[in-house]
Amino acid sequence: MGCIPRKHLGAKATKPVDLVITPSIFVRENSLDINEVYDFGQSLGRGAFGEVRRAKHRSTNLLRAIKILLKDKPSTEANTELLNEVEMIKAVDHPNIIKVFEYFETPRKSYIVMELCQGGELFDEFSKRNVLKEDDCATVIKQLLSAVSYLHSHNIIHRDLKPENILIETKGDISNVKISDFGTATLCAKNAKIRGALGTVYYVAPEVLLGNYDSKCDMWSIGVIIFTLLSGCPPFDGINDNAILNKILKGNYSFTGPIWANISREAKDLISSLLCPVETRLTAESALNHPWIQRRCPNNQDLHSLGNVLTKLKDFHCASKLKEAVSIFITSQCITSDETKQLKEAFKTLDVSGDGKISKKELADQYTKFMEGGESKAAVEEIMADVDSDKSGFIDYTEFLKATLDRKKLESSENLKAAFNLFDKDKSGTISAAEIRMVLDTGNMANSKIWDEILGEVDTNGDGVIDLREFEALVNKKTIL
């Protein structure tokens, strides 16, 4: 015990209290010509909606996937669909949900810039293997359940979960997958019902076909996915769509055939607990606690490396709102998946419930392994005050990363330049209070003086603007001579 060093406490600068910084405020429409910002590469896939292409950001060289939507509908309807997908994705912050960075509009096309998953679709990986071993399947499903649990806690229903909409971050490595394609996702308040059928035939829940459903329709789809990944065949099949839909409505499926003889009773039990009437169907939270998931996905995080992460969390403090904004921008927009791979595993270890966020209790349970009770309680309170930027009562994924990332990576000259350019709207080489407001104001600020206060924290020479030197000094804590 006591191997985590105490944080040296001292006078803290006062941050403006009514400004909440979240990754979503940096996801917005870019008014530039997209070809001035990105170099387009190969096509990653085509569909009825349009196309997804690989691209490279011209100034940062960061790789992206760009979803190109053809506007074959009236512009108002097309814009609504685009904004729906962008708003759904940018509102969430989970390691197993695809990230969106920005979007562009032209009279004929819409463009959504998203993170690039080099491994392609789970459907393609599954097609190569024919079936997945139970341990591999459980690894994928645990991630899906965590992401879906998170979505449902935010009243979001995906409505089209299937292997084609699950992306693999790194080629051949199913330990990190992400849910994508939120084009048909919708908001649904707790205990409310939705009307109207949507989804893909093989994976659609019976209550969706009847036009009266809630978030548990996603759980049915996960049941179909598990069945298909383990056996190589869907549970409901037929000569045409109508035949398949009739079987779904009747709930007719079976575990017959040679392949099912070698699949565990626990796997079959989980499937049966998902492909069942909605009244008895498991929630994502309950499914995460199912024995098949718990036994096949043990937590193997190295205690020493976890201790290092806990130390970083405890040592983190950000007195300036502008520095906090810069850290969240860089973490959410500039840091690559390779740079966060180990931290992602640490986050999952701390997130014992698997709901995609770290609670105060989950933190406390870890710190009591290294510190005395009273000391650990004080540490957790201070961590929540410093790291929980949006004051949600939980540490979200980006909040965790901003506090634990290697500072040299986070504060590299390339990342700081990208952040400076974000605020320097008029490309004058300096940042004004008005430009800070343009980036950070979400329209909910009661105190209009806050922008001058934020600028004053950084404007050391008092000329009314922030130059690059002052900006870098803020982030790197340099002393300006």
At 416-474, the pLDDT tens digits run: 999 999 999 999 999 999 999 999 987 766 566 888 888 888 888 888 899 999 898 88
For residue 8, is it within any domain? no
Name the pLDDT band for 12 (thresholds 50, 70, 90). very low
In a shared domain, residues 282 and 317: no
In a shared domain, residues 253 and 312: no
For residue 441, is it within any domain? no
CATH number at 54 reads 3.30.200.20
Rounded mean pLDDT, 260-275: 97
Cα 347 from Cα 397, distance rounded (Å):
7
In a shared domain, residues 223 and 334: no
Complete DSSP assignment for 393-406: SEE-HHHHHHHHS-
For residue 418, is it within any domain? no
Rounded mean pLDDT, 142-152: 97
The secondary structure of the chain in percent helix, strand, coil, rounded to multiples of 5, reads 45, 15, 40
What percent of the chain has a predicted confidence (pLDDT) above 90?
A: 63
Residues linked to residue 53 through DSSP beta bridges, in sequence order: 43, 66
For residue 443, is it within any domain? no
- Both tokens assigned to 429: 């080489």
pLDDT for res 479: 38
67 assigned to a ligand binding site = yes
Radius of gyration of the CA atoms of the chain, in A:
24
In a shared domain, residues 287 and 321: no
Cα 95 from Cα 345, distance rounded (Å):
10
In the predicted structure, residue 289 carries a pLDDT above the cut 60: yes
Q: What is the pTM of this model?
A: 0.90
Domain boundary among 296, 317, 340: 296
In a shared domain, residues 317 and 232: no
pLDDT one-digit tens code per residue, 385-408: 999 988 899 999 999 999 999 988
Domain boundary among 115, 136, 161: 115
pLDDT for res 155: 94
User: Dihedrals φ, ψ of 290, to 5°?
Assistant: -65, 145
Cα 276 from Cα 206, distance rounded (Å):
10
pLDDT for res 319: 73
Domain boundary among 257, 281, 296: 296
pLDDT for res 49: 73
For residue 449, is it within any domain? no
Three-class secondary structure of residue 300 per DSSP: coil
Q: Which residues contact 35 (CB under 8 A, 6 or more apart)?
A: none
**Average pLDDT along the chain:** 88
For residue 322, is it within any domain? yes
Cα 428 from Cα 430, distance rounded (Å):
5
pLDDT for res 172: 84
In a shared domain, residues 264 and 180: yes
* Residue positions annotated with a catalytic role: 160
For residue 431, is it within any domain? no
- Residue 201 or residue 298, greater confidence: 201
In a shared domain, residues 354 and 279: no
In a shared domain, residues 111 and 50: yes
Instruction: Name the domain count of the chain.
Output: 3
* Helix (H) or strand (E) run with residue 114 in it: strand 109-115
Residue linked to tokens 């001292």: 10
pLDDT for res 444: 65
In a shared domain, residues 271 and 323: no
In the predicted structure, residue 5 carries a pLDDT above the cut 50: no
Q: Which domain holds residue 375?
A: 300-410
In a shared domain, residues 93 and 156: no
Cα 423 from Cα 435, distance rounded (Å):
6
